[in-house]
């Protein structure tokens, strides 16, 4: 088979995988992680998230525009059967991208699974792990997003926390809840963990 045809088929396969995963992401009733709102500060929510199991991969950079689709495809492959059992795992929302220098992306696994219940990924780039409980400051916004919008919202969130005397702990993150073709009611969030924030405060 000619190389050009091979690359074309590979690209079509990748596009199909992303499309199927994105369709799942926009389906009604999709599972989202449980959290408890501890406090509201204007448009910002302070949320407590219990521990959760995630499938994570490293991405090339902290640029959502440049690395978002690659990370999404890597983890979507895992949940759609690229694992030791060829097991399909339900899609959840949001897709989370950590915006640090060593950027990562992860999907939260359905709450029915412990980390030990899940199959090993076929790809060495995908890791199944448990995230510790955390308190996040979260700013929600609508519409389509990109690096510029994410950066502006992270700055807005950081400024609001500074006014309240709250200290971020670690890198900001982006959380996306919609398929690419959703036009209305789009949900985006930027978030950051808080330093020394009591769960019950």
User: Considering the domain boundaries, does residue 162 fall inside one?
Assistant: yes
> What is the predicted pLDDT for the residue at 183?
81
User: Are 139 and 44 in contact, with CB atoms under 8 Å apart?
Assistant: yes
Q: Is the pLDDT of residue 4 over 50?
A: no
- Report the domain count for the chain: 1
Q: What is the mean pLDDT of residues 5-20?
A: 42
For 180-199, what is each residue's pLDDT tens digit?
A: 778 888 999 999 999 988 76
Model pTM greater than 0.85?
no
Is residue 62 in a domain? yes
Give me the pLDDT at residue 15, please.
Answer: 42
Q: Is residue 184 part of a domain?
A: yes
Taking alpha carbons only, the member of 188, 170, 171 closest to residue 179 is 188
Range of the domain at 93: 3-193
pLDDT band at 18, cuts 50/70/90?
very low
Domain contains 23: yes
199 occurs within a structural domain: no
Instruction: Evaluate whether residue 131 is within a structural domain.
Output: yes
Residue 85: burial class (beta carbons within 10 Å; 0-12, 13-18, 19+): exposed
| Cβ atoms within 10 Å of 167's Cβ, excluding its own | 13
Mean pLDDT to the nearest integer, 103-113: 96
Q: How would residue 17 be classed by pLDDT, with cut points 50, 70 and 90?
A: very low
pLDDT at residue 28 tops 60: no
Lowest mean pLDDT segment, chosen from 111-120, 143-152, 165-174, 177-186: 177-186
Q: Output the domain CATH number for residue 8.
A: 3.20.80.10
Give the model confidence (pLDDT) of 47-95 as tens digits: 999 999 999 999 988 898 888 888 999 999 999 999 999 999 999 999 9
Q: Is the pLDDT of residue 126 over 70?
A: yes
Confirm whether 198 is domain-assigned. no
Mean of pLDDT values over 119-126:
97
The answer to whether residue 136 sits within a structural domain is yes
Residues 6+ apart with CB under 8 A from 21: 72, 76, 79, 80, 91
| Mean pLDDT, residues 148-156 | 97
């Amino acid at each position: 088979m000619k190389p050009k045809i091979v690359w074309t088929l590979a690209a079509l396969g990748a596009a199909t995988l992303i499309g199927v995963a994105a369709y799942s992401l926009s389906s009604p009733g999709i599972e989202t992680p449980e959290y408890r709102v501890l406090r509201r500060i204007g448009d910002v929510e302070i949320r407590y998230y219990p521990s959760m199991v995630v499938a994570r991969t490293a991405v090339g950079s902290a640029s959502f525009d440049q690395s978002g689709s690659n990370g999404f495809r890597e983890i979507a492959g895992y949940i759609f059967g690229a694992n030791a059992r060829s097991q399909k795992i339900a899609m959840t929302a949001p897709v989370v991208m950590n915006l640090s220098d060593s950027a990562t992306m992860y999907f939260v696994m359905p709450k029915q699974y412990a980390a030990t219940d899940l199959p090993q990924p076929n790809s060495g780039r995908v890791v199944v792990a448990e995230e510790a409980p955390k308190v996040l400051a979260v700013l929600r916004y609508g519409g389509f997003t990109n690096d510029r919008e994410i950066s502006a919202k992270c700055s807005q969130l950081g400024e609001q926390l500074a006014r309240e005397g709250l200290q971020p702990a670690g890198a900001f993150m982006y959380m996306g809840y919609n398929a690419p073709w959703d036009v209305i009611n789009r949900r985006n969030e930027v978030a950051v963990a808080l330093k020394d924030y009591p769960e019950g405060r």
